[in-house]
Structure 1
Amino acid sequence: MAEFKHGTLNATLRGIDLGCVRQFRGIQYGRIPGRFKRSEMVDGWEGKVLDCTKYGPRCPQNHYDVGHLLRIPEDHVFEKEEESEFGCLNLDVTVPSDLGERGDPLPVLVWIHGGSQIMTFGSGASRICDTTKIVSDSILQGHPIIVVSIAYRLNIFAFGDCKGEVNLALKDQRLAIEWIQKYIGKFGGDARNVTLAGESAGGVYVHAHVVTGAPLTKAILSSGSLYLSPPLPLYRGQATVEALENKLKEAGHGSLQDAPVNEILKAQAALALNSLWLQDDPELSGWQNKTGNAQELLVGDVEYESIIWRNGVETMTPQMIVESFAKGGEYASQLSRLYCVSLNRPTPSKTGALDFITDARFALAVRKTARLWRTVGKRVYCYVIDQENPWQASSRAHHAVDLVLLFGGLDLSFNPAAEKVGREMRKRWISFVNGEAPWSNEKSFAFGPFGEYKEIDANEFATRRRVKHLDLLEKMDIANINAVFGALAAGRISLLN
């Protein structure tokens, strides 16, 4: 058992020893005074002893098979995770076990998980985003870091009821960042050297924190940014809230404010509410042109991001896809031709629709974000992940597979190529967090396929991504891109692909 007294928190923390690493789990950073209320920081513990050997509860959510998308074998047992509407604001801190013998404070990596803003995709308890391996590798690399992963409110509990606070998840996370600034020093971390990272919806949140001026030095956007899920007008949220409240009333319950948690989750499931979004906020206005306080950016995507829309797109007729692409304005005809969309070719049309989703919401986002940061003189490191799913290579390098590779929380020894790429990813991420160049900022870095990894120039990048398609998308009005995307993707997302 690892134990130390945290003077500023006025608490003794009892964590667990994991070889060269110590982990303190489930530390409460905030309290929720009521449903849809803004969270408040937990400032001290009056000398109490805190049991930090167990993961804290997550926000209540409908059950999703997190192993499905990742192709993790069905016999893998995921630890059952406790849930609590008001006790879910907690974080895990993973540190080198010899921290007390070190002099200078260590760089801090803060991780925000994804999950379409409705569920916890990749918790430490699931092992998918277990931070033990990346900290232990940082020690072996001679560049030790501290990693903090945070839990926050999800689904409608984070979205709000449109009668008060909105974007509560974002505010919970900002509170956690402030808590880290205040208390990470006693863990041996450097509050002036914080890298904020996230994947998918986690990347959306990280981008939002960057543009709203959170106290960061570096940021990592993995398969997610505000281009993936931009803030939407408040009336869109009001329509969602109204639909949920109507469902609750049909079941004999009151408003969202008063209904039991399980009934709210049932209503969400009945409405097939599989994703949510950030609501318009003055702080987020003009986000496309803001880079915040962070000075360096690591940003990239995986080859097959649109897998999470695949089953939905498969139900579309060629007519529906053709009509969707027709919303592309003056470039509609050229867009359809480039993506092989045709009334007479159903299969190529569906493939083209999925390619468009990948390009419009992920690859184009990397290009635009990197260009902006370079324009204002900040360093940017771009990457592509083309390493196939370790358990089912035919599923390709799909959305979220990078979590399995990066964190190494699941045993990949059966697949040496995947294990090798994961080890290299951790090495490069650790260098970035430590303020070193992970590769030349004039080139991209490719992880995979087939266990290979290397720097690539523009010519090789063009063999891995649809550059001509991206060039056309850059010519298009964003409203037309959004119209095509909305017609193809709205209501069709699912983690069960």
Structure 2
Amino acid sequence: MSLHVTTTIKHSTLNATLHGVLRRGGADVLQFRGIKYGHVPARFTAPIAVDDWAGANVDSKEYGPRCPQQAFDVGYLLRLPEDVELPREREDEFECLNLDISMPASEARVGERKREGLLPVMVWIHDTCKIVETSVKESKPVIVVAMQYRLNIFAFGDGKGPRNLALKDQRLAIDWVKKHIAGFGGDPENITVAGESAGAVYAHAQVVGNAPVKRAILMSGTLEMSPPRPLSNEATIVAPIEAKLARIGSSLRTATAEQIIEALTEANMVSMWLQQSPDEPELSEWTRTGNASSLLIGDVEYESILWRNGIEALTPQMIVDAFNLAGEHSGELRRAYNITGSRATPSKTGALDFINDTRFSWPIRKLSRAWRAGGLPVYGYAVDQANPWQASSRAHHAVDLVLLFGGLDLSFNPAAAAVGDEMRRRWIAFVNGEAPWSADTTFAFGPHGISREVDAGGLAARRRTAQMETLERVEPAQLGAVFAALAAGRVSLLN
């Protein structure tokens, strides 16, 4: 897809003229990029909305900056060929509250659209032009909004001000969409929030926080995967970073963004968590459905690849010791996951399976059950299509993004391309308010390019449903202790 012309929209509620770009492809897509939805007045402060441009001409042809963050080789996890160049993004902690809007070019005459002609909207955090293009081909056009927001310690804070700043940024963006998307031809009453991994955790948090969304798509993540932790735990994040900055005569409040990122890297801070803040008491009520009326949720077959190298470094006895933290359930749990002190490979594989189930597959199963108990439709899926470039890496964490968004050429692997096409069709149907498949089944994407609905037996052949029955009998605190002993400090994208 290539850029050809500039396009312009006069937007009444923003009081602005926005200049975007037309991307030519299988179906033409209009993009308005880098639109500021908020402003960060100072580090670790709550965001302020940007709603009125006072009649200005707004250049929306270039992507806006992202939040400063540690450099990771994303291609490592995704198994991308080394000659694939990913775009370099600008970074600015104070100007990162921006979003990109992608819409079908055929819907450009937005000023003349009546209420009944407005399009469904999906709010996401990744590039999504291929979804918009496919939606046009399917005659089910959608508008996609991709947001930037604060990350890592810039979102976590220093314990002296507001917490969960990423959540506050995201909610501001969703509220911005609610107020202004009609000016782009989108329906403010028909918003789907979606995310993958940490993005899914955030999307789930927005649902339970009563964000004005009609549907949710949670890919490989729920609030139970990364539950909010007590404020008393803040020091384990803040103190090591402050100590490293103090050595150069600085602090989290005064250091440059570059110095903070360097301190994060030195402290090996690769992940953080939501906080149990009095500003968001509802986060502990993870089964709340908020304003949403339906859910699309699922996982990939090998989520726990993120811990593979860390688990490989453990001895069988260390793994046994971790499972023994389950108390009276330890024997049952070890048998379920084939954990022994004398067999290294089965024990390490079993530890990865346990992490996979307790943080991904089992929470998805429990959340689905809770929503269905409330009478709401849940559409479960399982992605089993292997990595297109290295099938031996299996259907690992984040490979679903490669398949779904279609930003990389998969023509060399027709099976993977077919699964990606099928995922986009089903996701678009859901965003349009249709049932993407029967709520009584699970939709299996792959392996071998074959996508179809499966019953409970078919799901049991793909996921460890018997082991999950064992997990149901163990106290959450005991499972948490086992997980912490196995996984703490051992997660990495370089797996």
Relative to the length of structure 1, the TM-score reads: 0.95
The match for 1:94 is 102
Which amino acid counterpart does residue 9 of structure 1 have in structure 2? L
Structure 1: runs of 5+ lacking an equivalent = 113-128
1:258 is the counterpart of 2:263: no
| Equivalent residue for 1:70, pick from 35, 59, 78 | 78
| Cα drift, residue 79 of structure 1 | 1.5
Deviates more, 1:484-493 or 1:232-241: 232-241
Q: Paired residue for 2:152?
A: 155
Which of residues 367, 373, 378 is equivalent to 2:376? 378
Report how far residue 60 of structure 1 moved.
Answer: 0.6
Give the structure 2 partner of residue 205 of structure 1: 202
Cross-structure match for 1:273:
269
Identity of aligned pairs, percent? 57
Look up the SS of the partner of 1:365 in the other structure: helix
Q: Is 1:9 the counterpart of 2:9 in the alignment?
A: no
Instruction: Output the aligned Cα RMSD.
Output: 1.0
Matches of 1:281 and 1:98, distance apart in 2: 44
Matched, 1:18 2:23: yes
Deviations 1:155-198 (A, max 9, x none): 10000000110000010000000100000000000000000000
Secondary structure of 1:98's match?
helix
Provide the rounded CA distance (Å) in 2 between the counterparts of 1:437 and 1:159. 37
Deviations 1:451-471 (A, max 9, x none): 000000001111001111000
Structure 2 counterpart of 1:442, from 427, 440, 443: 440
Superposition deviation, residue 288 in structure 1 = 3.0
SS at match of 1:422: helix
Name the CA shift for 1:285/1:131 in 2 (closer, same or farther; >3 Å): closer
Distance in 2 (CA, whole Å) between partners of 1:342 and 1:481 is: 18
Task: Give runs of aligned pairs for residues 73-222 of structure 1, distance below 5 A.
Answer: 73-101=81-109, 103=114, 104-112=117-125, 129-222=126-219
Aligned to 1:117: none
3-state DSSP of counterpart to 1:58: coil
Partner of 1:475: 473
The equivalent of 1:289 in structure 2 is 287
- Secondary structure in 2 aligned to 1:484? helix
C-alpha deviations, 1:43-88, integer Å up to 9, x for none?
1112211111111100011110111100011111112110001000
- 1:361 matched to 2:359: yes
Quick one: structure 1 residues 428 and 51, their matched pair in 2 at CA, closer, same or farther if it must change by over 3 Å? Answer: same
1:123 matched residue in structure 2: none
- 1:299 alignment partner, SS class: strand
After TM superposition, the structure 1 = structure 2 runs for residues 304-323 of structure 1, keeping only pairs within 5 Å, are: 304-323=302-321
Count how many residue pairs are aligned between Structure 1 and Structure 2: 480
1:264-311 residue CA offsets vs partner (Å, 9 max, x unmatched)? 111111110010100002423542331111000000000000001111
The equivalent residue for 2:341 is 343
Instruction: Say if 2:45 is the partner of 1:31.
Output: no
Deviation at 1:130, TM superposition (A): 2.5
1:20-59 CA distance string (max 9 Å, x none): 2101111110000100000000011122111111111000
Report runs of 4+ in structure 1 exceeding 3 Å deviation.
Answer: 100-103
Q: Tell me which amino acid in the other structure corresponds to 2:20.
A: G
What is residue 388 of structure 2 aligned with on the other side? 390
SS in 2 for 1:394: helix
Partner Cα separation in structure 1 for residue 353 and residue 314 of structure 2: 15
| 1:446 partner letter | A
1:324 aligns with 2:322: yes
TM-score by length of 2: 0.96
* 1:224 paired residue among 221, 231, 238: 221
C-alpha contact (below 8 Å) 2:306/2:491 kept by paired residues: yes
Task: Give the secondary structure class of the aligned counterpart of 2:461.
Answer: helix
By how many angstroms is 1:328 displaced? 1.3
Name stretches of at least 5 consecutive residues in structure 2 with no aligned partner. 1-5
